[in-house]
């Protein structure tokens, strides 16, 4: 298969070998059924590769394309951070989040997180920006600093942010820390659906199932119709049976 630098010529009538960009050896595969019109399909897709198949009549001609996803994304982020979007903390945070989630380019990602949380770009009171920085610090093995940063982030969290952060702690089997976050959320937003569920989960995380039950019952009464009610039914039943609902 020949890839040409000349993309304007019609077919192979004006083919010139000096314009070759790449030649790839491929093995044609018989098609299960005839393909009337030439088409290209993308199969075996992963985060960093895909098989491209040229399909026509009774043949499939496949070739695999692989890229260094992280390297390409990081390069694109660096470019983006030099545009007019760099004046908002969200842009710096999105770049730092990619590093945190993929555990790549962490040192530079930490610098991006510093920008996201700075007064200059407006993210100094953002729970999201501070929690991104904490995640990068944790990935760098600087756990004590990450804990300090999260303590700074918590007062800036809204009801949903605190609830879902607490849920992450329960999944990580950090029961006491989860309870403290759910309690903070409840104190800021008392007797709301999410905060009642949070208290039920928080007490469950520390093994206090009976104390969590009244909050679950209140949350069940507040639950929107649909899947939430079924979930709360399971939570109430679990606490009544003395089982961890997390």
Angle at 20 between CA 18 and CA 23, to 5 degrees: 135
With cut-offs at 50, 70 and 90, classify the pLDDT of residue 146: very high
Least Cα distance to 207 among 171, 177, 184, 239 occurs for 239
Question: Can you read off the two tokens belonging to residue 214?
Answer: 């009244």
With cut-offs at 50, 70 and 90, classify the pLDDT of residue 42: very high
Q: Is the pLDDT of residue 50 over 90?
A: yes
Q: How far is 125 from 147, CA to CA, in rounded Å?
A: 17
Q: What is the pLDDT of residue 224?
A: 85
- Note whether 3 and 22 are within 8 A (CB): yes
Taking only the tens place, the pLDDT of each residue in 180-202 is 999 999 999 999 999 999 999 99
- Note whether 104 and 71 are within 8 A (CB): no
**Reduced to 3 states, what is the DSSP secondary structure of residue 150?**
helix
In the chain, the N- to C-terminal Cα span, in Å, equals 54
Taking only the tens place, the pLDDT of each residue in 51-74 is 999 999 999 999 999 999 999 999
Q: How far is 246 from 236, CA to CA, in rounded Å?
A: 12
Question: Can you read off the two tokens belonging to residue 97?
Answer: 């989040």
Domains located in the chain, CATH noted: 2-66 (no CATH), 69-156 (1.25.40.10), 175-246 (1.25.40)
**pTM score:** 0.79
Q: How far is 120 from 68, CA to CA, in rounded Å?
A: 33
The 3 state secondary structure assigned to 185-241 is: HHHHCCCCHHHHHHHHHHHHHCCCHHHHHHHHHHHHHHCCCCHHHHHHHHHHHHHHC
Question: Can you read off the two tokens belonging to residue 107?
Answer: 């040192």
For the chain, the average pLDDT equals 95
Helix, strand, coil shares, percent, the chain, to 5:
55, 15, 25
Segment holding 12, helix H or strand E: none
Q: Is the pLDDT of residue 226 over 90?
A: no
Q: Is the pLDDT of residue 9 over 90?
A: no
């Amino acid at each position: 298969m020949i890839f040409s630098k000349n993309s304007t010529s019609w077919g192979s009538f004006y083919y010139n070998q000096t314009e070759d960009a790449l030649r790839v050896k491929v093995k044609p595969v018989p098609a299960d059924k005839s393909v009337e019109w030439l088409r290209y399909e993308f199969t075996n897709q992963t985060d960093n590769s895909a098989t491209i198949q040229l399909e026509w009549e009774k043949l499939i001609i496949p070739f695999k394309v692989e890229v260094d996803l992280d390297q390409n994304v990081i390069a694109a982020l660096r470019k983006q951070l030099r545009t007019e979007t760099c004046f908002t903390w969200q842009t710096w945070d999105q770049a730092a989040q990619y590093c945190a989630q993929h555990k790549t380019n962490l040192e530079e990602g930490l610098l991006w997180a510093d920008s996201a949380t700075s007064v200059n770009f407006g993210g100094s009171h953002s729970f999201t920006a501070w929690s991104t920085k904490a995640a990068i610090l944790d990935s760098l093995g600087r756990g004590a600093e990450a804990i300090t940063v999260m303590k700074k982030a918590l007062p800036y969290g809204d009801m949903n942010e605190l609830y879902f952060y607490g849920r992450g702690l329960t999944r990580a089997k950090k029961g006491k820390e989860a309870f403290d976050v759910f309690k903070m959320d409840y104190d800021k937003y008392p007797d709301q659906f999410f905060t009642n569920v949070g208290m039920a989960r928080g007490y469950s995380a520390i093994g206090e199932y009976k104390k969590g039950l009244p909050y679950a019952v209140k949350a069940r009464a507040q639950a929107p119709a649909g899947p939430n009610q079924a979930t709360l039914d399971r939570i109430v039943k679990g606490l009544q049976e003395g089982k961890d609902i997390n």
